[in-house]
Structure 1
Amino acid sequence: MDLKYFITLKTILQEGSFQKAASKLSYTQSTVTSQIKSLEAELGVKLFEKIGRNMVLTQAGKDVLPQIDVVVESVNKIKNYGKSNKELGGKLKIAIAESLLSYKMQDVLKEFKLMAPKVELTFTSVNCYILQNAIIYGDIDIGVYYDIGKHNSVTTDKLGAFSLALVCSPDLNMDKRDFITPNQNKDLTLIGLEKQSINREIFEKYMKDKNINLNNIIELYSIETIKKSVAGNLGVAYLPRFTVKDELKKGALVELETSIPNKKITAQCVYHKNKWLSPAMKLFIKLVKSTLNKSE
């Protein structure tokens, strides 16, 4: 069984199509197709099926992927054996929760590039649930995001716990600031990230338990935009405290009292349990832990 077939399969999954994988590997598309057919013949299973215009993994493909990952990771381990940080090469794909990327990870990323300049580091910011799925299916190497529950396919290193705060504009009417008394209908807007956001989920559960209803929700995709919208008295937001500490100190935002029992979310560093920890991954994880292990 030819190792390059496994590498081709992984590249298809990483790039999203046979055509992009062919370009990445400097193959023709017919070569990529031929390699996958050969691999399917040797494994005795069909790895891809066409749904609409897209070629997607079959269930059999998903079942054998962890074993293929082990083989590819073992080869990478051999290639990188004994290399120092300065000699590290290759690629490292990181995905980070938006608030952590914007407010906590800049020093980590800067330090990593100084210590491992030859590593091609790419990073993105996505929803925590999407991020976890990307780790499970091998689309990224490391995720740094909030605890949304344990999955059997991943290894999790717990980091610091960060407090949350419900904030509003100082111009918000006093009669709208009560989030303790149950059974209320408020002429007020919740401004937050997309629905599958851990802090929004916590707040909405609290509101449901208290039977406090707001009449509108605005979904935005940037913490900075959310903060400016709240400061402009367009609504309230429930955010990690570290994202609003400067505005609270300056009086641009005001914290509202709640009786939410646990006003903290825990950050974590996550990777696939079958993934070999390359020297580059170990370095990145070490830097993340040294920065984010302190709770607030």
Structure 2
Amino acid sequence: MDIRHFKTFKCIIEEGSFSNAALKIGYTQSTVTSQIQQLEQELSIKLFEKIGRNMVLTPLGKELISYTDELLETVKKIESIGKNDSIPRGELKIAIADSLMSYKLQNVLGLFKQKAPDVKISIVSLNCFVINDMLSKGEIDIGLLYDVGTHKESLTSVELTEFSLALVCSPLFNHDNVDFNNPNQVIDTSLVINEPNCIYRRIFENYLRENNITMNNTIELWSIEAIKNCVASNLGISFLPRFVVENELKNNRLKEIKTNCSDTKITAIYSYHKNKWVSPAMSLFMQLVRENFESNSCVGAYDPI
């Protein structure tokens, strides 16, 4: 069997189509099609079938994905034999939770670029549950995210630090008759928050359900900066990691509301697949992440209202 055929198969899965894979690896589409046909002949199975205008994976094609990942990881290890493993090179694919990407990783990425200029690094900002799924499928090398409690045996995870959370509002918010510690009430304001699978949204919404507290509306935004701007404009309240509202609390652009769930913490971790070959690039990035979190403590306390 030709390893190139498995690499082409993997590229089709990652890029979503034969044509996109051809562009990615610099082949003609006919070459990509020919390689898949040869692989199907060698394995005596059908990997793709045409449904309408699209080529979709067969059940056996889906089954081959995990074996292909293992094979190509083994090839990487074999290719590294005899090379200078102290020099990071190649490609590094990373997925990072949005708040960590926006507020905690600039130093790490800057240092990594200095120390590993020959590494092509690709980064996506995604939901923690999506990151876990991509790690399990071998679609990324490293995930930097929050522990969401879905521990998978296929992943190695390393705890970095804990972050506290804060319920925040505008200084203009009329909080005189609002107490989030009292159960069984309707509060006349909106919750401005990330998408439903956001870990701190889940924590706060669970708290509201447990205490039978309802709010008028939910404004769902994907940008933390947009959330903070809406809250500062008195369009609602939000529940966020304290470190993302540090400056706004210091400058009195936002105020913290006291609530019984404010002592809840979320844990930042990095994860990678147990079968993944830890390349010099991966090793360096994880080292820089550990050092960054060890040298930076969490944000200090602010007086809640």
TM-score when scaled to structure 2? 0.90
Q: Which residue pairs with 1:150 in the alignment?
A: 151
Match of 2:207 in 1: 206
Could you tell me which residue of structure 2 aligns to residue 241 of structure 1?
242
Contact 2:95 2:123 in 1 (8 A): yes
Tell me if structure 1 keeps the 8 A contact 2:167–2:239.
yes
Q: Is the 2:89–2:280 contact (alpha carbons within 8 Å) kept by the matching residues of 1?
A: no
The yes-or-no answer on 1:3 pairing with 2:3 is yes
Task: Provide the secondary structure at the position in 1 that maps to 2:22.
Answer: helix
Question: Compared with structure 1, are the counterparts of its residues 180 and 53 closer, same or farther at alpha carbon in structure 2 (3 Å cutoff)?
Answer: farther
The structural deviation recorded for 1:262 is: 5.1
**Residues 124-144 of structure 1, C-alpha deviation per residue, up to 9 Å, x if partnerless?**
111112222222223222111
Residue in 2 that maps onto 1:219: 220
CA contact (8 A) 1:247 1:253 kept: yes
Q: 1:54 to 1:200 in 2, by over 3 A?
A: farther
Tell me the SS of whatever aligns to 1:277. Answer: coil
How far does the alpha carbon of each residue in 1:52-105 deviate from its partner, in whole angstroms, 9 at most, with x for none? 5443433333333222212211222233444355x4322111111010001001
What's 1:65 paired with? 65
Equivalents in 2 of 1:261, 1:243: separation in Å? 15
Q: Which residue of 1 aligns with 2:109?
A: 109
Unaligned runs of 5+ in 2: 299-305
Judge conservation of contact 2:207–2:261 (CA < 8 Å) in 1: yes
What pairs with 1:262-277 in structure 2 (closer than 5 Å)?
A: 263-277=264-278
User: 1:4: how far off?
Assistant: 0.6
Q: Spell out, residue by residue over 1:220-267, the C-alpha distance to the aligned partner (whole angstroms, 9 max, x if none).
A: 111111111111111000000000111111211111111128511111
Distance verdict in 2 for CA 1:112–1:100, change over 3 Å: same
Structure 2 residue 139 is matched with structure 1 residue 139: yes
Distance in 2 of aligned mates of 1:52 and 1:235: 46
Q: Offset of 1:208 from its aligned partner?
A: 0.3
Equivalence for 2:301: none
User: SS of 1:175's equivalent?
Assistant: coil
Q: Provide the C-alpha distance between the structure 1 equivalents of 2:174 and 2:157, rounded to a whole number of angstroms.
A: 43
CA spacing shift, 1:282–1:54, aligned 2, 3 Å:
farther
Specify the code of the residue in structure 1 equivalent to 2:134. Answer: A
Q: Does 1:194 align with 2:215?
A: no
Distance across 2 between alignment mates of 1:83 and 1:163: 42
Instruction: Output the amino acid matched with 1:60.
Output: L
The alignment covers a number of residue pairs equal to: 295
User: What residue identity is the alignment partner of 1:233?
Assistant: N
Instruction: Write the distance in 2 (CA, Å) between the matches of 1:151 and 1:190.
Output: 32
Q: Does 1:123 find its partner at 2:129?
A: no
User: What secondary structure is seen at the aligned counterpart in 2 of 1:186?
Assistant: strand
TM-score (norm 1): 0.93
Q: Which runs of 5+ in 1 are unaligned?
A: none
**Kept in 1: contact 2:161–2:293 (CA 8 A):** yes
Identity across aligned pairs (percent)?
52
Deviations 1:18-61 (A, max 9, x none): 11111222212122112112222322333334455443433333
